[in-house]
Amino acid sequence: MAKILVVDDSPVEIKIVRNFLQDRHEIIEAQEGNRALELAAACQPDLILLDIIMPGLDGFAICRALKSRSDLADIPVIFITSATQIRDVVEGFRSGGQDYIIKPFYALELQARIKVHLELRQSQKTLQQYILQMEQKNEELKKMMEKLEISAKTDYVTGLANRRSMMETLQQEMERLKREGGQCALILGDIDNFKQVNDTYGHECGDMVLKTVSACMRSVLGSQNYLARWGGEEFLMLLPGAGLTEAKQRAEQVRAAIAKQVFLYRGREFSLTITLSVIVLAADSELDESMRVLDNGLYLGKRCSKNCVVDSRDGVVCSRE
C-alpha cells in the first residue's frame, strides 16, 4: 500500500481526499508547511498531494524545500489547489511539481493521476535499482579483471612475477636504456640439484623450497630491483642501473644467503645451493642474445662446480667469500 502525504490547511479538504483514497492508500496528513517537511523526511511517502494557498510556507515554498533535499527530491508532488491562474500552474511546475489538479476535483481523475505517478515512481525505483546493480556488477567485474591480470602475471607458487611479467619489465627497461642511456644487470639463478628434492621429499617440499628461496632473494635484492620465477627452479633478477661489480656482489649475496639457509620439512633438515650467472646490458644490447649468453654462463657454472657466480661474458667463475 502506497503512502500519500496530504498537505492542506483545511481539515475539510484533507477529509475529502482521505475519504477518496484511504481504501487503497495509507494517508498521512499535515496542515502546515514545516510539519509537512518533517513528515516527509520521517515517513518517506510515495507521493505528496500539496495545496498552494496556506499560511506560513505556501505550496511552492514547500515544494522547493522538498526538491532541495536529496532524500526527498524524488518524491512526486501533485499540486491540488483552487489557484487557477496560469501563472500559478507554471510556478507549480517551476518549483518542482509533477502535476497540477484544480479544486474541486473529480475523484476518478485524482485516482488516475495518482496511479500514473505512483507507477512512474516505481519504474524509476526499478530503473535506479537496475542501474545500481549494473554498477555493482561492473565494479565486481573490474575487480575480477584486475585479479585476473595480477594472476596472469604472478607465479602461483612463489607469488613472484612470472616469466610473462618479467619479459614486459625487461622490454620496458630496454626502452628506457635506449631513451636515457646507462645500463642494467641481469642475474639468472638455478637451484642446484632441485630434482633430488622433489624425488626425495615430494613436490610439496619442492614448493616449500621455491617459496623459501624466493624469500631469501627478496631480502637480498630489496624493493628497487625486480625478481621473477623464470621457470621451474630458475629465477631471473633485474637490477636497473647496476654495473658488473654491483651485480656480482648481489649475486654472491644471494648465493651465500641460500647456502646458509636451513630447510625444514616434516622434521627433516637439509641445505641447498644455487648457481648464478651475471650479465650487464647497455642501450645497444640485444635482449635475446643477452639471454642466450646468460643461459650459457649458467650452464658453465653448473658444469664447473655449482654453488657459484659466473660472469657470463667471459665465463669466469667468481670467487666466493
Structure confidence at residue 103 as a pLDDT band (50, 70, 90): confident
User: How far is CA 222 from its chain centroid?
Assistant: 27
pLDDT (0 to 100) of residue 320: 54
How many helices and strands, by DSSP H and E, does the chain display?
A: 10, 13
Q: Is the pLDDT of residue 302 over 50?
A: yes
CA dist 60 and 77 (Å) reads: 11
Listed in sequence order, the residues at least 6 apart from 280 whose beta carbon sits closer than 8 Å to its beta carbon are: 183, 184, 185, 186, 242, 243, 244, 247, 313
Structure confidence at residue 88 as a pLDDT band (50, 70, 90): confident
Residue ranges per structural domain of the chain: 3-127, 163-318
pLDDT (0 to 100) of residue 239: 97
132-179 pLDDT, tens per residue? 999 999 999 999 998 888 888 999 999 999 999 999 999 999 999 999
pLDDT (0 to 100) of residue 104: 85
- The residues with which 282 forms a beta bridge, in sequence order, are 183
H helix intervals, 162-241 = 163-180, 194-201, 203-221
Percent of the chain clearing pLDDT 90 (strictly above): 79
Give the active site residues. Answer: 233
pTM: 0.63
User: How far is CA 44 from its chain centroid?
Assistant: 34
218-238 pLDDT, tens per residue? 999 988 999 999 999 999 999
Measured in degrees and rounded to the nearest 5, phi and psi for residue 315 equal: 75, 10
Q: Is the pLDDT of residue 37 over 80?
A: yes
pLDDT (0 to 100) of residue 321: 46
Q: Where does the chain show beta strands of DSSP type E?
A: 3-7, 26-30, 47-50, 77-81, 99-102, 183-191, 226-231, 234-240, 263-265, 268-270, 274-282, 309-311, 316-318
CATH 3.20.20.70 assigned to domain 3-127? The reply is: no
Asked whether 276 and 310 are in contact (CB, 8 A), the reply is yes
167-190 pLDDT, tens per residue? 999 999 999 999 999 999 999 999
pLDDT (0 to 100) of residue 9: 92
Cell numbers found for residue 164: 610473462
Nearest to 21, CA basis, from 96, 78, 99, 83? 78
Q: In what order do the strands lie in the sheet with 3-7?
A: 26-30, 3-7, 47-50, 77-81, 99-102
Q: CA-based diameter of the chain, in Å?
A: 107
Q: Is the pLDDT of residue 30 over 80?
A: yes
pLDDT (0 to 100) of residue 105: 84
Q: Is the pLDDT of residue 122 over 50?
A: yes
CATH architecture group of domain 163-318: 2-Layer Sandwich (3.30)
Stretch 195-221: mean pLDDT, rounded? 94
User: How far is CA 98 from its chain centroid?
Assistant: 39
